[in-house]
Structure 1
Amino acid sequence: MPETDLELLSEAAVKAGELALSFWKKAPEAWDKGGGAGPVSEADLAVNALLEDKLRGARPDYGWLSEESADDPARLAASATFIVDPIDGTRAFLNGDGGFSHALAVAREGEIVAGVVHLPVHGLTYSATVDGPALLNGKPLQPGTRAALEGASVLTSKLSDDPAHWRDGPPAYRRSFRPSLAWRLCLVAEGKFDATISLRKAWEWDIAAGSLIAERAGLRATDQRGAPLRFNRALPQSDGLIVSNPSLHDAFLEKLASWPG
């Protein structure tokens, strides 16, 4: 049995990837969750079952919060809780796009203490612990240092371009997109992009693992108002997301209409 939570998450993520690939590009059964929650497939549910069996089998006293499981309020009283997105980027997965990930984290007292984001198609495994470095396939991550919003490369959706979100209109950043929100955080930690933002509610399972990886790489990860991210809450959402180096983060806050400063 793995000795540390990070070892456990890492082993489980690899197994999740192997199972997901057995469904990928094979037209798995899929349906819409309704209520704007997007699609889910038999692959999502199979990976969720595998992860719950492996993770909770090893740590039966931990709570469980997953996008694909009914919420159990018992997690709120647990000393530690797994926060899991079995397949982050289900639409991409169903479209044969390899930009989906498995995002696994452990929260203690509202903070993420271990996290793994694994992309099986691309052979990428990002990981971190609260007292260790952020790693990609075992090597330290080095984010960018850009301080100016003008021309910054930002991973976000078209919704962020709405002028209503900004003071004096949206800044002239260069917008790009990746289907997995967890991967977006890791790409910024890797220095491939300058920032990622979300100006709508973000589910904890999408950002838990990636936020720790970003922070351990030296980035700042907050909600859109600059407040620290907290996890394993009764309503598991944050009020948006800003992830970038500290200088660029300050520049975002100064331009966002949501910031009270």
Structure 2
Amino acid sequence: MENSCLIADDAELAAQLAAAAGRILLATRDCRLVQGKALGKAGDAAANAFLMEALAQQRPDDGILSEESKDTPLRLSKDRVWIIDPVDGTREYGQERADWAVHIGLSIGGKPVLGAVALPGPGLVFRSDKPQPVPPAPSPLRMLVSRSRPAPEAVAVAEALGADLVAMGSAGAKAMAVVRGEADIYLHSGGQYEWDNCAPAAVALAHGLHVSRMDGSALVYNMPNPWLPDLLICRKEHAERVLREVQGLVKV
């Protein structure tokens, strides 16, 4: 992106960056020069280089926190901070699966104000500024869990709710599955960083979903330590029951 093509609207910028990074990642994969973990590293590097340069040009006064760039204290002095994950689900990307994502989130005053999540595999971009109605929930409910490390809390809550478990890759793919109506509850307790959930949280909130920590508190961003270990994204009508079940597990 050139300075002569500045995009004034933050939400439009987030969406364009997510889509463009997705195209870079697909092109990197299609070259077939590397595979597996090497492909994940190559994709991360290519997408991150593009995003860091584009944000420096488009929003030079804002802070940036990226999973793939060295963090510095400079962002802590900024009210506006772009929080990005060039490839959320590097393992799935390297395995040439579809359940990986690109996260472009904007935190203002520590809140996930807006974001875009691209799912380049199916060619989708979800935007906080263009929410769509979330389809009604079926019965039984569907609880998303990690393909490789299902969180014990999520498994226990699913059993209490009589929900079916749905295994999926990246955090962004799981969050967007709730937005798309393909699942109903995403409960994560295995550890995440701000870049894993800022953009998904912004998109989910814009779609009228419940988004919080496992104790029901709000997600806070641009902290000195970007570790943000737990997350709940679900339909609002299920939030109270899920949080009650989680707290019951904690007390035990």
TM more than 0.5: yes
Counterpart in the other structure of 1:151: 140
Query: 1:28: Cα distance to partner?
Result: 2.9
Counterpart in the other structure of 2:242: 252
Alignment partners' CA distance in 2, 1:164 and 1:65: 28
CA-to-aligned-CA distance 1:117-146 (integer Å, 9 cap, x gap): 1122211010014xxx52xxxxx2325357
Q: Choose the corresponding residue for 1:193, options 171, 183, 187.
A: 183
Alignment partners' CA distance in 2, 1:241 and 1:11: 26
Q: How many residue pairs are counted as aligned between the two chains?
A: 243
Counterpart in the other structure of 2:3: none
Q: Residue 101 of structure 1 contacts residue 180 of structure 1 at CA under 8 Å; is this kept in 2? A: yes
Query: 1:98: Cα distance to partner?
Result: 2.1
Query: 1:237: Cα distance to partner?
Result: 2.5
Change (3 A) 1:142 1:83: same
Matches within 5 A, 1:1-261: 1-25=6-30, 26-28=32-34, 40-129=40-129, 133-134=130-131, 140-145=132-137, 151-157=140-146, 159-160=149-150, 162=152, 171-256=161-246, 257=248
Percent identity of the aligned residues? 26
Q: Residue 154 of structure 2 contacts residue 188 of structure 2 at CA under 8 Å; is this kept in 1? A: no
**SS of residue matched to 1:237:** coil
Change (3 A) 1:173 1:181: same
Query: 1:30: Cα distance to partner?
Result: 6.5
Alignment partners' CA distance in 2, 1:153 and 1:103: 24
**SS of residue matched to 1:202:** coil
Change (3 A) 1:183 1:166: closer
**SS of residue matched to 2:128:** strand
Q: Residue 163 of structure 1 contacts residue 170 of structure 1 at CA under 8 Å; is this kept in 2? A: no
Query: 1:186: Cα distance to partner?
Result: 1.6
Unpaired runs of 5+ in structure 1? 33-38, 135-139
Alignment partners' CA distance in 2, 1:15 and 1:53: 13
CA-to-aligned-CA distance 1:14-44 (integer Å, 9 cap, x gap): 2211211111152537659xxxxxx951210
Residue type of the partner of 1:124?
Answer: L
Query: 1:177: Cα distance to partner?
Result: 2.1
Q: Residue 101 of structure 2 contacts residue 172 of structure 2 at CA under 8 Å; is this kept in 1? A: yes
Unpaired runs of 5+ in structure 2? 1-5
Change (3 A) 1:163 1:88: closer
Change (3 A) 1:259 1:31: same
Alignment partners' CA distance in 1, 2:75 and 2:249: 31
Alignment partners' CA distance in 1, 2:123 and 2:155: 36
Q: Residue 143 of structure 1 contacts residue 217 of structure 1 at CA under 8 Å; is this kept in 2? A: no
Query: 1:239: Cα distance to partner?
Result: 3.4
Higher helix share: 2
**SS of residue matched to 1:188:** helix
Change (3 A) 1:27 1:93: farther
Deviates more, 1:251-260 or 1:228-237: 251-260
Query: 1:243: Cα distance to partner?
Result: 0.9
**SS of residue matched to 1:156:** strand
